[in-house]
């Protein structure tokens, strides 16, 4: 209400003017309540409020903005330039560009994540967003207001998520995705600089039996230790990652020659070949390593990794615990292996496999003392050394080896019924077959089902089968011995040839590999090896069987050195069942 003094009809009068301001009052109350709610919301949301007068560059802000950075309210001067000095130097160009773009009307608002320096000197991540709320008639900005919040916790969560998405959860190494991304950068840099790079593919030999025998906890411990050892073999600019399972990849960023890659691979062979200790066990494994080089072995990451994998496969084919550089001819051999693998399943289902039998001869008496059952795949016209390693790698050897054992025992029963061959049959056992927990039971079942005795069977295995854990192997061999089954160590001298395990394992027979026997007198090295193995076997009370006897000279040498038994084309080649029966009737009548 407003009162005005005036005259009315010659007399003094007071005029009162009344205005209804209830609506304005309500609006004012509403504004104040909104400001209170906004202030409360910012407090609850832990938001710092700021208001910049762009004409003076003065800054007005609430107390929360100070406390976000560890300052007391009012402890920072209310000037825009002072606050800008708190922005991380690496983030400043990006923040300034976004801020100016909004002031010029190029964006609907300002929104950036960047780092501010706290009072303690630590950098904290904040999210700041604002909007121009006042412009002059020419469109020039006069005032901008906004809010700021601390996002350190969110950034930490995002970093953990990013790390998880790029790293293997077991070993902590970069995973396949991160390896590929890094490798792309390496190749691009090598291409620009006309330099060499190397891809080293590592696979742990005989790892699956560790998982199968001792469980995944022990297997995981081995993988983590292997990852740590591999990481110690490379330079800071290189990268080691896990592709999956027991496969690892090392990318060497820049090297001078292929020998640099070979040196890194040899270091890996040395470190990975040392014993692993887990759950009270001392485990021995080794790596197979394949190497491909950029640019000669491939122009893309996929091609280089594939070729390194192919080279690794051939290192494994060569017995493992070695390295191979990629060669173009490996691809054809790998393609052949894949073709064989694709046929194996049908071959097993359609019973395409058969056994040949080769007699074992007492060299001194020229008498037959046993025979060896040898697996063949007639319809594929492949040698055993071509398809058996593929079957082992593809996981078919347990089934195939089980069939060989059962078929050899069945055939032995049939010969017994004919009164033909009262001598033991030797059966080769694959590493995967031997390491099954029910292996001894499967042997006993084969004997029982065929109705033959333990004396009718000899189990042959290679050195690599024995090397996972000697104590475990000794237990299995002891069970076979208790059953009355003899055990032969095949191809002795071509594998690890560790003399320490021979005295610990109940082995009855050492088979001298044919690579030392055939044409033995023409090689001084082979003569020395054969003499040493024969003397070793005799000193340990083992029978020695020489494989690959093909001439009178071979036989004469072995007789002179008192080798007990032999096999080879000089006596008889491997024969199908009926031909072997006829041979036996002729020689054993």
pLDDT tens sequence across 193-222: 888 999 999 999 888 878 877 888 999 999
Q: How many domains does the chain have?
A: 4
Q: Which residues contact 409 (CB under 8 A, 6 or more apart)?
A: 425, 446, 447, 449, 450, 452, 456, 457
In a domain, 336, yes or no: no
- One domain for residues 259 and 134: no
Residue 140 region by backbone torsions, left for phi larger than 0, else alpha for psi between -120 and 50, else beta: beta
pLDDT tens sequence across 182-196: 999 999 988 888 889
Q: Which residues contact 506 (CB under 8 A, 6 or more apart)?
A: 474, 477, 478, 481, 487
pLDDT-based confidence at 41, cuts 50/70/90? very low
What's the domain range around 138?
45-156
In a domain, 56, yes or no: yes
- One domain for residues 453 and 575: yes
User: What pTM value is reported for the model?
Assistant: 0.57
pLDDT of 463 over the 80 cut: no
pLDDT tens sequence across 108-127: 999 999 999 999 999 999 99
pLDDT of 102 over the 90 cut: yes
- 17 or 50, greater pLDDT: 50
What integer best gives the mean pLDDT of the chain? 87
- One domain for residues 147 and 173: no
Q: How many CA atoms lie within 13 A of 549 on its CB side?
A: 28
SS3 369: strand
- One domain for residues 468 and 488: yes
In a domain, 92, yes or no: yes
CATH code: domain of residue 183: 3.30.70.270
In a domain, 405, yes or no: yes
pLDDT-based confidence at 46, cuts 50/70/90? low
pLDDT of 515 over the 90 cut: no
In a domain, 335, yes or no: no
- One domain for residues 60 and 113: yes
Last residue of a domain, one of 104, 124, 156: 156
What pLDDT score does 55 carry? 93
d(CA 65, CA 301): 49
- One domain for residues 467 and 524: yes
d(CA 6, CA 558): 148
Mean pLDDT of 24-33: 54
CB of 227 closer than 8 Å to CB of 297: no
For residue 92, the tally of other CB atoms under 10 A from its CB is 14
- One domain for residues 385 and 495: yes
Most confident range (mean pLDDT) of 64-68, 407-411, 431-435 is 407-411
What pLDDT score does 45 carry? 47
In a domain, 162, yes or no: no
d(CA 90, CA 110): 19
In a domain, 197, yes or no: yes
pLDDT-based confidence at 42, cuts 50/70/90? very low
- One domain for residues 55 and 81: yes
- One domain for residues 31 and 84: no
- One domain for residues 311 and 374: no
What pLDDT score does 353 carry? 94
Last residue of a domain, one of 278, 295, 327: 327
- One domain for residues 206 and 354: no
pLDDT of 288 over the 50 cut: yes
- One domain for residues 449 and 535: yes
CATH code: domain of residue 103: 3.30.450.20
d(CA 386, CA 179): 33
In a domain, 337, yes or no: no
Burial 72-86 (b: 16+ CB within 10 A, else e): eeeebebebeebeeb
Last residue of a domain, one of 276, 302, 327: 327
């Amino acid at each position: 209400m407003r009162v005005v003094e005036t005259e009315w009809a010659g007399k003094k009068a007071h005029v009162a003017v009344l205005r209804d301001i209830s609506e304005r009052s309500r609006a004012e109350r509403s504004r104040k309540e909104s400001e209170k709610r906004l202030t409360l919301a910012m407090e609850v949301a832990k938001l710092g409020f700021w208001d910049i007068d762009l004409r003076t560059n003065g800054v007005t802000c609430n107390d929360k903005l100070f406390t976000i950075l560890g300052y007391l309210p009012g402890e920072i001067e209310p000037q825009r330039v002072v606050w800008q000095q708190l922005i991380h130097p690496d983030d400043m160009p990006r923040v300034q560009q976004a801020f100016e773009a909004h002031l010029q009307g190029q964006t609907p608002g300002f929104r950036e994540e960047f780092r501010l320096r706290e009072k303690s000197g630590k950098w904290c991540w904040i999210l700041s967003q604002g909007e121009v709320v006042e412009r002059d008639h020419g469109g020039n900005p006069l005032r901008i207001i906004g809010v700021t919040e601390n996002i350190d916790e969110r950034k930490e969560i995002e970093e953990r998520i990013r790390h998880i998405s790029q790293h293997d959860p077991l070993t902590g190494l970069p995973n396949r995705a991160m390896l590929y991304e890094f490798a792309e950068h390496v190749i691009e840099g090598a291409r620009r600089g006309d330099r060499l790079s190397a891809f080293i593919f590592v696979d742990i030999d005989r790892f699956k039996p560790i998982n199968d025998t001792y469980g995944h906890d022990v297997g995981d411990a081995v993988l983590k230790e292997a990852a740590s050892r591999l990481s110690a073999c490379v330079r800071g600019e290189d990268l080691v990652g896990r592709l999956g399972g027991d496969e690892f990849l090392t990318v060497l960023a820049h090297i001078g020659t292929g020998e640099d890659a070979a040196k890194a691979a040899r270091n890996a062979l040395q470190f990975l070949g040392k014993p692993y200790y887990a759950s009270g066990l001392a485990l021995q494994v080794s790596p197979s390593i394949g190497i491909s080089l950029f640019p000669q072995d491939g122009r893309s990451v996929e091609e280089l990794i594939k070729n390194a994998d192919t080279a690794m496969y051939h290192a494994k084919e060569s017995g493992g615990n070695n390295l191979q550089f990629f060669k173009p001819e490996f691809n054809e051999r790998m393609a052949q292996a894949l073709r064989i693998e694709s046929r194996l399943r049908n071959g097993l289902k359609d019973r395409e496999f058969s056994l040949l039998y080769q007699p074992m001869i007492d060299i001194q008496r020229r008498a037959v003392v046993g025979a060896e059952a040898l697996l063949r795949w007639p319809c594929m016209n492949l040698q055993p050394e071509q398809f058996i390693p593929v079957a082992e790698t593809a996981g078919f050897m347990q089934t195939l080896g089980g069939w060989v054992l059962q078929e050899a025992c069945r055939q032995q029963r049939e010969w017994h019924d004919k009164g033909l061959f009262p001598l033991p049959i030797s059966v080769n056992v694959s590493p995967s077959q031997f390491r099954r927990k029910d292996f001894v039971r499967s042997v006993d079942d084969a004997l029982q089902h065929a109705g033959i005795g333990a004396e009718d069977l000899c189990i042959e295995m290679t050195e690599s089968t024995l090397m996972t854990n000697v104590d475990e192997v000794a237990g299995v061999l002891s069970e076979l011995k208790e059953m009355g089954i003899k055990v032969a160590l095949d191809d002795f001298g071509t594998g690890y040839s560790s003399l320490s395990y021979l005295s610990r394992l109940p082995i009855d027979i050492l088979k001298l590999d044919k690579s030392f026997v055939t044409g033995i007198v023409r090689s001084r090295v082979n003569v020395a090896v054969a003499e040493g193995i024969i003397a070793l076997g005799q000193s340990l009370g083992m029978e020695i069987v020489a494989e690959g006897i093909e001439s009178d000279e071979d036989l004469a040498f072995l007789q002179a050195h008192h080798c007990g038994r032999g096999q080879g084309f000089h006596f008889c080649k491997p024969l199908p069942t009926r031909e072997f029966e006829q041979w036996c009737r002729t020689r054993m009548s």
